[in-house]
Amino acid sequence: MKSNIAYPMNLTVGVEQARKLVEQIPHGTCRSAAARHWNVADDGSVPEESINWLFCWAKTGMGSRTAAQEAQRVFNVILPVTFAQYDHLVDHEYARLHRYAGDA
């Protein structure tokens, strides 16, 4: 199964600004995992795995509604598609299975 989105995507903000926004999502697990799973090239291109990782946080917030809402806001600010658009095009289960580099 593949998603219906073209990867990588290019950030709509600077690489450093995007990193700071991701690191401000109010969940300790998200902030600590960002160093491993939020990977962006110097040119601002974001691989599928990192987009799916952020999407999963925006979808569930790992049980925190506040974290999910902030992750959705960050998704909308830093990526060229909105969370709602991505949610419509990419199945959550697909994203969950493809959120870490080297996964299926």
pLDDT digits (tens, 9 = 90+) for 37-90: 999 999 999 999 999 999 999 999 999 999 999 999 999 999 999 999 999 999
- Residue 59 domain flag: yes
* Model confidence, pTM: 0.93
Tell me the C-alpha distance between 39 and 47, whole Å: 7
Average pLDDT over residues 18-26: 97
How is residue 63 written in tokens? Answer: 């049980």
- Residue 36 domain flag: yes
- Residue 24 domain flag: yes
Q: How many domains does the chain have?
A: 1
* Bridge partners (DSSP) listed for residue 45: 10
Q: Three-state SS for 59?
A: helix
- Residue 85 to residues 32, 43, 76: CA-CA distances in angstroms? 27, 24, 10
- Residue 104 domain flag: no
- Residue 37 domain flag: yes
- Boundaries of domain holding 70: 9-97
